[in-house]
């Protein structure tokens, strides 16, 4: 900045011309240089890898615990081996087994932790947004135990929700035990949750995307790297136990034609509407339970009455039901039961929805992904059959229709678009399904966003006043440099002036003297320090004292090539409203000044870009 840009108060002969700037150079406080990653990320990544191994082992343990409780509840046997609730010849005892499980879960929620209620992801989102990712330690073991009881006694839930919640709780617990920042705890929570999903379905990429879309609320290397390593590790552990076969195997697909592709998009649109109706129905049922004249501890048992009755007439609605999804995706193959017709699929879809929605609305412990996949897959299959009847030349593949319906209902209900598309691919390993999936899921996402403000994951916490980020965009303050908006017409004081001279100037200078802070420079325009208006007007300040004597702390400055984000953070960290801008190289010559108003004005670019 040239000397004519420095406005001085009147000078007095005989005052010192300058003071040494060497100490000032040592005391300058500039924003820390930001970087994509640092050495701390390596430590967090290593912790996330170990966390992923633990989450994958927990996933294996929870599945075996569910099988053990299922075997004991329905067959009176003790074993850890794979088992499902009876699919045929159901005994009348099925009417009471879910109720017993509901009573146990209710007691665990009341006397253990209320946080075990629900399907896990909304609760984890709330902890991230409101409580700096701190989940109570007891949830780490109460959530999987309560879910195992609920699902093992016939609850129509998936095991993935509790596993995701448990992994997230374990990550949060590690973050609380260690010395971590809130951002690092969020990363650990997301890594544990994503590892749980990856360990359940063998879907590391979609688990990572789900963490980004529903838990991290950001797309930055500092969180992506640890979470990605965690999901890859968890998938590797799952392979060691269960092999490399996809969770939902289906026959090889063929490339769909143009008409079929258009109908898959239409199918996704219809399923998007259904996802909105399903979400509203679930929360309407939850609201109805709120009006019951009994303590919420008993609600899971009341919901379990419906589970038992529905299970008696439709045994396939009981338990996790991953086998239902596999058979929907293999519809028409030789491995499918003879009674698995379109009419039976429609019956299963309705009964699963009734059982799951009422059980979930009762506040019991369980997951939503598997039930949604079952309902969406069945709807896709039925719509595919209708399209083949209406437009025979389209040659809709019913298996692809089921796949699109399965992914589209989750894309519409949760708005996790990318996670939905990639999940359907990873769990089937059918690349020719990607194009129909992308079109169908995007259409469902669009319809859901138009018709519904919140999602099945966010409605509950939105009602509590929590605002959940729904859009992720580049920070406008990161895209603008300080030099672009800083004022170069800087009102400065000379280091040779005393307080009395400055006060005389302030009384006569008008608007130029109305600022709350003034840089103090020497005769070369090099920064010596900053004094505030309050310091100058202090009645105890001697009038003959040099203004440099009022400088009490190192100067907070910023460089022209620093980002506005760095400048804004610097202001907040030091509770100041303006920063001198100094040249990066050489002596600290003042070349401008930036204020809070300048930072806010930078958002004008974003607003202009959004206008037509």
* Domains of the chain (ranges, CATH numbers): 3-30+476-608 (3.10.580.10), 39-242 (1.10.3080.10), 258-462 (1.10.3080.10)
For 593, the 3-state DSSP assignment is strand
Question: pLDDT (tens digit, 9 = 90+) per residue, 443-475?
Answer: 999 999 999 988 888 777 777 777 777 777 777
Question: pLDDT (tens digit, 9 = 90+) per residue, 50-60?
Answer: 999 999 999 99
The answer to whether residue 326 scores a pLDDT higher than 60 is yes
* Helix (DSSP H) and strand (DSSP E) numbers for the chain: 24, 5
**What band does 17 get if pLDDT is binned at 50, 70 and 90?**
very low
The mean pLDDT of 486-492, rounded to a whole number, is 85
**What band does 431 get if pLDDT is binned at 50, 70 and 90?**
very high
Mean pLDDT of all residues in the chain? 85
The mean pLDDT of 204-224, rounded to a whole number, is 90
For 340, the 3-state DSSP assignment is coil
Calpha distance 455→448 (Å, rounded): 8
Residue that is written with structure tokens 């060497």 in the block: 22
pLDDT value at residue 585: 79
Do 390 and 175 form a contact (C-beta atoms < 8 A)?
no
pLDDT value at residue 126: 67
What contacts 213, CB < 8 A, 6 or more positions away?
414, 415, 416, 417, 418, 419
DSSP per position, 109-169: HHHT-GGGSB-SHHHHHHHHHHSTT---TTHHHHHHHHHHHHHHTT---BSHHHHHHHHHH
DSSP 585: S
**What band does 14 get if pLDDT is binned at 50, 70 and 90?**
very low
Half-sphere exposure of 9 (CA within 13 A, CB side): 26
With pLDDT > 90 as the criterion, what percentage of the chain qualifies?
A: 39
DSSP per position, 82-105: -----SSS--GGGGTHHHHHHHHH
pLDDT value at residue 96: 93
The mean pLDDT of 289-315, rounded to a whole number, is 92
The answer to whether residue 440 scores a pLDDT higher than 90 is yes
Question: pTM for the whole thing?
Answer: 0.83
pLDDT: which is higher, 194 or 574 = 194
pLDDT value at residue 220: 87
The answer to whether residue 136 scores a pLDDT higher than 80 is no
The answer to whether residue 390 scores a pLDDT higher than 90 is yes
With pLDDT > 70 as the criterion, what percentage of the chain qualifies?
A: 90
**What band does 335 get if pLDDT is binned at 50, 70 and 90?**
low
DSSP 32: P
pLDDT: which is higher, 545 or 275 = 275
The mean pLDDT of 549-575, rounded to a whole number, is 87
The answer to whether residue 358 scores a pLDDT higher than 70 is yes
């Amino acid at each position: 900045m040239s000397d004519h840009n420095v406005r001085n108060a009147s000078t007095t002969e005989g005052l010192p011309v300058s003071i040494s700037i060497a100490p000032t150079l040592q005391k300058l406080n500039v924003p820390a240089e930001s970087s994509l990653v640092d050495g701390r990320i390596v430590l967090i990544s290593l912790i996330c890898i170990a966390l992923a191994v633990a989450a994958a082992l927990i996933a294996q343990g929870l599945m075996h615990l569910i099988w053990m409780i299922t075997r004991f509840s329905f067959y009176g046997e003790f074993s850890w081996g794979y088992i499902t609730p009876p699919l045929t010849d159901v005994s009348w005892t099925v009417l009471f087994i879910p109720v017993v499980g509901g009573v146990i879960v209710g007691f665990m929620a009341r006397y253990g932790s209320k946080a075990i209620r629900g399907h896990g992801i909304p609760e984890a989102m709330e902890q991230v947004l409101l409580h700096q990712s701190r989940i109570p330690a007891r949830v780490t073991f109460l959530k999987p135990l309560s879910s195992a009881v609920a699902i093992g006694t016939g609850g129509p839930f998936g095991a993935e929700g509790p596993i995701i919640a448990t992994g997230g709780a374990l990550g949060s617990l590690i973050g609380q035990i260690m010395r971590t920042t809130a951002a690092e705890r969020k990363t650990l929570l997301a890594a544990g949750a994503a590892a749980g999903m990856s360990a359940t379905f063998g879907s590391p990429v979609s688990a990572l995307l789900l963490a980004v879309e529903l838990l991290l609320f950001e797309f930055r290397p500092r969180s992506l790297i640890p979470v990605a390593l965690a999901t890859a590790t968890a998938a590797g552990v799952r392979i060691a136990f269960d092999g490399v076969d996809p969770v939902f195997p289906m026959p090889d697909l063929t490339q769909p034609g143009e008409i079929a592709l258009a109908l898959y998009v239409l199918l996704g649109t219809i399923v998007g509407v259904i996802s909105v109706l399903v979400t509203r129905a679930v929360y309407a049922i939850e609201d109805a339970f709120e009006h019951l004249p009994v303590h919420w501890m008993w609600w899971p048992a009341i919901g379990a009455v419906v589970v038992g009755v529905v299970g008696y007439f439709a045994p396939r609605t009981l338990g996790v039901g991953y086998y239902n999804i596999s058979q929907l995706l293999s519809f028409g193959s030789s491995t499918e039961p003879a009674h698995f017709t379109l009419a039976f699929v429609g019956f299963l879809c309705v009964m699963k929805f009734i059982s799951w929605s009422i059980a979930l609305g009762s506040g019991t412990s369980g997951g939503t992904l598997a039930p949604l996949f079952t309902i969406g897959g069945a709807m896709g299959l039925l719509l595919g059959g209708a399209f083949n009847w209406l437009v025979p030349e389209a040659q809709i593949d019913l298996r692809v229709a089921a796949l699109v319906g399965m992914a589209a209902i989750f894309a519409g209900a949760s708005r996790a678009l990318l996670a939905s598309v990639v999940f359907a691919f990873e769990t089937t390993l059918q690349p020719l399904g990607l194009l129909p999936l992308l079109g169908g899921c995007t259409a469902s996402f669009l319809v859901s966003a138009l018709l519904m403000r919140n999602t099945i994951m966010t409605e509950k916490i939105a009602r509590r006043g929590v605002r959940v980020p729904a859009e992720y965009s580049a920070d406008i303050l990161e895209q603008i440099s300080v030099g672009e908006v800083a004022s170069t017409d800087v009102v400065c004081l000379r280091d040779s002036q005393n307080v009395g001279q400055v006060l005389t100037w302030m009384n006569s200078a008008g608007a130029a003297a109305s600022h709350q802070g003034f840089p103090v420079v020497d005769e070369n325009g090099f920064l010596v320090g900053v004094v505030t208006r309050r310091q100058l007007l202090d009645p105890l300040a001697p009038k003959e004292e040099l203004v440099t004597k009022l400088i009490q702390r190192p100067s907070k400055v910023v460089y022209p090539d620093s980002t506005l984000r760095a400048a804004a953070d610097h202001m907040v960290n030091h509770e100041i409203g303006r920063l001198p801008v100094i040249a990066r190289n050489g002596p600290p010559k003042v070349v401008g000044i930036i204020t809070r108003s300048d930072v806010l004005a930078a958002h004008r670019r974003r607003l202009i870009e959004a206008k037509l």
